[in-house]
Amino acid sequence: MDFTLSDEQKMIFEYGRNLAADFGRDYWVKCAEQARFPTEMYRKVAADGFVGVMVPEAYGGAGLGMTEMALFNESLAEQGMPLLSLVVGATMGLSLIASFGTEAQKKQYLPPACAGETRFCFAITEPDAGTNSMRIATIAKPQADGTFRLNGTKVYITDAGESDYMVLVTRTTPLAEVKRKTDGFTLFIGPTKAKGIEMHPIPVGVKIPETQYQIFFDNVELTRDQVLGEVDRGFDILFHTLNPERILVGAICAGLGRHVLTRAVDYANERTVFKGPIGAYQALQHPLARAKTDIELAALMTYKAAWLFDRGEQCGPESNMAKLAGSEACIRATDAALQCFGGNGFTKEYGIFDLFGVARLMRTIPFNNEMIHNYIAEHVMGLPRSY
């Protein structure tokens, strides 16, 4: 067993830290408050080669793996500046194209996206399907001339309004007509701006820079060369996004947890209301110590999941546990930190309560923790399916 990071991996972690320092947390907070995408920071990340961390060098990426992408996300979050767009666009979108796109698709879409000239979002969630993706009803109906007609609705699609393309999960055969419920899915690389597409921002209470959108598709034309993978076999591909999204949530939560704990410790060592600093009280110390332990345990499981992924090994159990452990630990860490800050924790100036919202979001997205528990109970432990 070797827990040592390579020099390159250390450099990537350091890069995230320096990038965050260069822009400053105030920049991220301002973007979040104004619901403005942090374009300048994203462009810098792209220019430095970090949007395409997992994209092969031949298509403009860095040709690295899940571990490096996780370390980069963890280091940004450790500075209190997580970017969801690096999860949904740079990882889920671009990696799928790199792994399953045709040569022509890889050449067309990947180099400009890695360079930050274009952005991708990832659209699966629907109002009437929610957690149960099998029920998605957005349909791309095959036409006699080989094209498809797309109709349906997606919700909560991060950064859709500002992205250029979306990796779009549709059905080409409705659920009622398939033998296995996983049949009939088709993924497309669709434009975000085309005739028949209407988008509306969904204001959310959580302070993050990326905006979420509801998208309506009304007879949008899609062509066969926009199909990612095979028609009606999209679920096989979709499966490959599940572990990366969970590993990255584990990484973001580990980083964010450390961020709030470090700030809480600094504050608790300074603030005196009775005799000594409030940090001397065990009532504050113990929740912080417990949260620190849980955060580091979650980080370890995240590294293990990423390491397995990079070796091409099965990593479903570890990825799900990393997401569960990371998100729950991050909630406990922000809650413990909030308590240390007293009234100041709730102010805009200190921003701890805002980060509590971000941490809490991670219990629900991209796959709620109830379903993660279900996965572990059923697939890891052999208990009966509950739903």
Ligand X SMILES: Cc1cc2nc3c(=O)[nH]c(=O)nc-3n(C[C@H](O)[C@H](O)[C@H](O)COP(=O)(O)OP(=O)(O)OC[C@H]3O[C@@H](n4cnc5c(N)ncnc54)[C@H](O)[C@@H]3O)c2cc1C
* Residues at the contact surface with ligand X, assessed by CB under 6 A: 88, 121-125, 130-131, 156-158, 204, 206, 212, 361, 364-368, 370-371, 374, 387
Smaller CB separation from ligand X, 122 or 309 = 122
> Is 20 in a helix, a strand, or coil?
helix
Rg from Cα positions in the chain = 21
CB atoms under 10 Å from CB of 180, counted, come to 8
Give the pair of three-digit tokens for residue 195. Answer: 């005739």
Amino acid at 56: P
* Residues in contact with 60: Cβ distance below 8 Å, sequence separation at least 6, in sequence order: 52, 110, 111, 112, 113, 114, 115
Question: Which residue in the block uniquely carries the two structure tokens 């009234």?
Answer: 343
What interhelical angle do 66-78 and 7-23 show, nearest 10? 30
Considering the complex, what minimum distance in angstroms separates the CB of residue 135 from ligand X?
A: 10
Smaller CB separation from ligand X, 49 or 80 = 80
Smaller CB separation from ligand X, 168 or 336 = 168
Considering the complex, what minimum distance in angstroms separates the CB of residue 22 from ligand X?
A: 26
Smaller CB separation from ligand X, 130 or 201 = 130
Smaller CB separation from ligand X, 35 or 231 = 35
Q: Determine contact, residues 350/306, Cβ cutoff 8 Å.
A: no
Considering the complex, what minimum distance in angstroms separates the CB of residue 179 from ligand X?
A: 23
Smaller CB separation from ligand X, 49 or 89 = 89
> Is 120 in a helix, a strand, or coil?
strand
Considering the complex, what minimum distance in angstroms separates the CB of residue 343 from ligand X?
A: 27
Considering the complex, what minimum distance in angstroms separates the CB of residue 87 from ligand X?
A: 8
In terms of C-beta density within 10 A (0-12 exposed, 13-18 middle, 19 or more buried), how is residue 205 classed?
exposed
Of 245, 328, 302, residue with least CA distance to 71: 302
Considering the complex, what minimum distance in angstroms separates the CB of residue 368 from ligand X?
A: 4
Question: E-strand spans in 16-138?
Answer: 120-123
